[in-house]
Amino acid sequence: MKRFHVHLHVDDLSRSIDFYSQLFAARPTRTENDYAKWMLEDPPVNFAISTRGSRPGIDHLGIQTDDAAELAALKARAQAADMALRDEGSTTCCYARSEKHWITDPQGVAWEHFHTLGDIPVFSEAAQPATGAACCAPGAVPVAVKPASRCC
């Protein structure tokens, strides 16, 4: 199964957690001092918010896979379509260890394809500034496309 992923930058995490908890009729499945995530089943979406973006709104979109084979199929589809792709491989971000790659749409919106391997206790194991993009959006995407934000 694949799950749609949305990551928003918010200015006020507490207020946003209250709002989205009411909207989804559920509390976040993970909350940190700069981040919250809901793993919703109906509709199947991994919805995350954080205070790590450069401006309020969509930081990036994505598709989360349940297994490595689904991730490989998404990667093969992007490559077959000749989309510029940035392969991060195994990485840490957003309090998780994942295998991932990125593409960027014609408007500059970053799309993350990823398979989560496990949770970690920090936002990222790589040194990151306190501000900037929420989660490893493609700062080094091939020059054929314009990256939506900069991180990792």
Question: For residues 46 and 53, what is the distance between their CA atoms, to the nearest angstrom?
Answer: 18
pTM: 0.76
Q: Which pLDDT score is estimated for 23?
A: 95
Structural domain boundaries, residue 104: 2-119
Higher pLDDT: 145 or 65? It is 65
Say yes or no to pLDDT of 138 above 70: no
Report the CATH number that the domain containing residue 37 is assigned in CATH. Answer: 3.10.180.10
In order, the DSSP letters of 83-112 are ---EEEEEEEETTEEEEEEEEE-TTS-EEE
Say yes or no to pLDDT of 129 above 50: no
Residue 109 lies in a domain: yes
Q: Which pLDDT score is estimated for 137?
A: 56
Total domains in the fold of the chain? 1
Residue 149 lies in a domain: no
Residue 134 lies in a domain: no
110 with 65: CB under 8 angstroms?
A: no
Residue 127 lies in a domain: no
Q: Which pLDDT score is estimated for 151?
A: 43
Residue 151 lies in a domain: no
pLDDT in tens, 34-82: 999 999 999 999 999 999 877 899 999 999 999 999 999 999 999 999 8
Tokens of 44: 């199947």
Say yes or no to pLDDT of 139 above 70: no
pLDDT in tens, 85-96: 999 888 878 787
Residue 150 lies in a domain: no
Higher pLDDT: 148 or 116? It is 116
Residue 66 lies in a domain: yes
Question: For residues 23 and 39, what is the distance between their CA atoms, to the nearest angstrom?
Answer: 14
Higher pLDDT: 102 or 120? It is 102
Residue 90 lies in a domain: yes
Question: For residues 109 and 149, what is the distance between their CA atoms, to the nearest angstrom?
Answer: 8
